[in-house]
Every structure is written in structure tokens, then in C-alpha cells.
Structure 1
Amino acid sequence: MKKTITTLAVIFAVCAGFTACDTDAEPLNLQPAYKYSEEYYANLRAYKDTFKERSLCFVWFSDYDQSYSMAYRFAGLPDSVDICSLWGGYPDPVKNPLAYKEMWEMRNKKGTRLVMPTIIRIMENDNFANFGLTYEDMVNQTTTIDPDGVYPDWCVLYGNHLLKDVWEYGIDGLDLDYEPESSDERNYGIYGDRMTLFVQYLGQFIGPMSPNPEKLLIVDGHTPPAETEPYLDYYVKQNYGSSSVSFTSTFPYEKQVFTENIGAYWQTGGGMEAQAAAKAPEGHFKGGFGAFFCLRDYHTSDSGADKEIPYGHLRRAIQLQNPAVTK
């Protein structure tokens, strides 16, 4: 395995400047299409399979209903991205065949994992009604499993609704955006003990405690309750606007991923490179780094970025976190 990873790292170092491009897009920051060998892709997939053994790269990607620029295409993402959260939803194979094709090529050829993000608020906009429940049901249902091991209705119905995407689409897991903002959500929705219960329910089917550990269960946003940790693969922190990282004591270092909002800091890259370079204490490694709205980094423009390479900040952050190994 070390030989495989070393070989791949050399390839990354030599080929980092190449990426596919759309001939209709403006010439700035674009590279000509480059074809890699099957050996390259085999090594790339082998490297991706080690993501639990090292710090990874996580992105939220969206706007792939457009195709006039590689910034909006899965084929334009750096090969070293480990997990892609589908912020633009699952592309329809009929209405958006190019995005569908390139997404699955990225998954099957490059080994990039695909997860479905969802803002988990069951009280907002009466979301509970979509599952045949009433406001009173939410107020009165318990936050615990009953003596027979049965979960409350809201937990089962909403949980199965999310799991359906994993099974039907064949993707790699769920990304739960945990942002309980309203008082109703905090009192009667997915928050605190109910969040723990919800994660435990999902954790029966996906995640490290399930019979399907290859299917990822991820939480981003607010820090989830400590009791959820065994059921989660990663806690992805929205560490926006910060050039430092702060580890929470309730999750292992290896499960904590720090992300920057490139949608807001596209001109400079914000704190992404600093977060990528940050290390866990000796004997550990951090879960990784990542970017929200990563597509806005496609056309980097500040003097510190690699102007001739799309995704300049993101690529440099990848190298800062996991420097290419040369013989």
C-alpha cells in the first residue's frame, strides 16, 4: 500500500497542473484536456480507499445544472477530492445527463465518494406534515426508544426518507446539516436528545456501527451531542473565516474536518490553506479540511494563488495537508 500511495503522490506532483477544460469558456485559468493512463486511475482509487487512514479533502459542490464552464462540472474538480457533498442535489440523468455522467465517472473512475446533504429541520415550514404528522405529534412524541426497542414515528419516517436516497441512488452516504435555529426545532425537533436518537436510528443502517460501514454518516454544522460520536464517520465543522482550528473534546481528532466558505472568500481563499496545514497533536491526524461552494475557487485571482491552475487555493491546500512524496 505504501508503494501505491507513493507512486500516486509522484503522479500528483508531476500532473497537478493539468485538468480538463471547456473550449467555450474564457481562456483565463483554463488548462487543456489531459488524458491519464488506466494505471493512474487505479492508483488514484487505491489512494482514495485510504481516506480513513489520513486527512481527507471534503467539498460541497453545486450549480452543476450549468455546463458552459468547467467550474460547474464534476469533471473540473481536482482529482484529490475525497468526498463530494452534492449541494446541488442528485443530477437527473434525463434532464442533466452531462452532470449525471461526469458525477459517476468521478465516483467510479476516480474513487471520489458521494454523499447527500440535507438541512435536518423537521419543524421548519411544518416539514413534519410531509410524513403524516401533526404539530401535536411532535410535541408529544418521546425522545427515547420504547421498551420494545421501537423508535418514535418522526424518527423512523424522516430517517427512512433520507436513507431512501442512499439506497435508490447508490451513493456513499448522508451529510446531515445540523443547524437547529428556531425555538420549535430546539424544543420539539431534531436537537439535543432527539438529535442523538435520530443519529442512532440512522446508524443502524449506515455508518461505522452499521452492517454497511462503507456507507458514510456525516454531520456538519453545530457540534452534535457526544453520544452520537460512535455512529458518525465525521463531524465537519463550518470553520468559516478562521485561520486556525480548534478541536472539540467529544470527537477523535481523526473524525474532525475543518471547512472554509469559499463562496464568501473566493478572492483570497480565506483560512482554507491555514486550516489544511494545521496538524493534530503528535500521534494523531485531523480528519481533514474542506470547502463550501468550492466551485468559486475555480478562477483564482489573488497574487498568492497559482493563477494558471484552476482551483488554485484548493490544490495548494491539498498539498499543504498531504504533501506529495517524492523519491
Structure 2
Amino acid sequence: MRAVQITEFGGPEVLTVSDVAEPVPAEGQVLVTVGRAGINYADTHQVENSYLAKATLPLIPGGEVVGRTEDGRRVVALVGSGGYAEKAVAQAPYAFDVPEGVSDGDALALVLQGTTAWHLLKTSTHLRAGESVLVHAGAGGVGSLAVQLAKLWGAGRVIATASSAQKRDRVLALGVDAAIDGDPDGLKDRILAANAGRPVDIVLEMVGGRTFDESFEALGRFGRLVTFGAASREPAQPIDSRRLMKGSKTIAGFWLADCFREPALLADPLRELFDLALAGDLHPVVGGEYGLSEVARAHEDMRARKTVGKLLLDPSR
């Protein structure tokens, strides 16, 4: 079968299409003929081996797929790796049936990025009605869903950052109250201005480095900041514990992989997200589709912040 298999770690240049043996499902696994695979920013870390979970070579990247099982079920599945291929195997509890009316793109957006947004707001930061929420990279896969969920769940004011005027227009169309430039220079002041001069209650942060630092400075009393990525590939400044005490602030971390030992932590949120999408209350943003042979360009575009929403990979071309 055709797959993107890497034999050395690096940037987009190491992503090439190869002919490899089809995977064979073991006991407790299902084989999925892939209709579309999802492309995530975390994949760029996996390919260069800078992710939280260290990878081994050779490696077929790709964490989620949508397609058909051997018995004909239409499923969206979390596979960890192996998704950039014509066929992939998944542990049976992590292959979720896709309701009629939910597209392949919507299913892929919701299974990983949607459940991440769900947990960021409900599990990590415990959003309460009326609170202000700052979402970094609001035009991205997680961000575009998080801003909608925050609004649906009663946030008082939702602010999003985005790297271009066009992306800021996109997040405004999703219903945010304010969209600001995400450049770290002067970011704290822009956050405060967007929140009528007040610090924010909740920050969803996935950039790291100076963006993390500026966001923490804009956090109000009893505020909660959750970090779930490091797109800048830069470390934030160390946080003195006394800075947490003053203002009673909380910093949390979130990694979806920590939900994998308990399937209900994914299945229950996903079911709720599917229902919201079917009701027309939640609108996943599918930002583009690439052929398998175009995967290097997909990673280049993503790293250059040229993309929005969920990116799809078509293994048939």
C-alpha cells in the first residue's frame, strides 16, 4: 500500500511516499481502509521527534483517520501513528462510529481537536458562565472549535488571537467578541484592551515562549491558564510559585494522550460534539485537503501559519 513513511527525523523534507506492507490487526484491533486522514500540528513535532512521546523509526505519521472497517462500519479512529496511509489499524475502543450527517472532515476535526477543546474548557479550566476566555490561534483546528464551545457554554466574552487580518476576520465570523494579533510584542496590552481593560479569567495557550509569558501576565484573580502545545518551539520563563499565589492563579497542562487509558474520556465528549454538529450549533472548520504526495507542502503550510481549521489528507492521490 502507499504510505508516507519516514526513515529519518527532520522537517517536511523527510516526508516521502513509499510502498509498504499493509498493517495486520492484532487481537483487539480493527483495520480501517482510510478515506481521509487528519493532519495536526502535533504531527510536525512527531516527524522531527520533538513531541512529548518519543518516536521510533521507521515511522508512518498521522494520529487519526476516518474510513471503513472490514465489516463495513464507518468510523473515525485515533491511531497514534500510521494514519498517513491507505490502511491503518486502531485499537477497537478508539474506533468510533460516525453518525449519518457528519462528514469525514467534521469527524476528523471533532475526534482529536474537538475533544481537546472540550477538555480544555470543561476539565482543565472549568469554564463558568459569564467568564472571559482567551483562545490562542483561534483560526486553527482546536481554536476554531474552542471559541464556538466557549460561546455555547455561556462565556461572557471570548477573545481570540490570530496571525493575520484574514484569520481574524474568520474568527470574528465564528462569533468571538474580539480578535487580536497574536504577536507576542505588546500582547498583554492587546489582551487587556480587548477585554475592556480587565484581566481575563481563562487562557487556552498552545504557542509557548513569550506568548505564554504575556498571557500569564494578562490573567486575572482566580484565573486559569492551560497550556496544550508549544508551536513556537520556545520555552516560557520559569514561574516563581509566589507569582501563582498572588492573584490565586492556576496553570494547568493538557495532553489528549492522557485520556487514552479510559475510552469514555473520548467517547462521551465526542458523542456530545457530534450531537452539537448535527443540530447545527457547532461548525467544524475544514481548512484544506492535500493528496498523500502533497504531505510535505501541507506541513510547510501549517508551520508557516498559512492554514486554518482542520487539514485533511487524501490517501488516494
TM-score under structure 2 normalisation?
0.28
Larger radius of gyration: 1
Task: Report which of the two has the higher share of strand.
Answer: 2
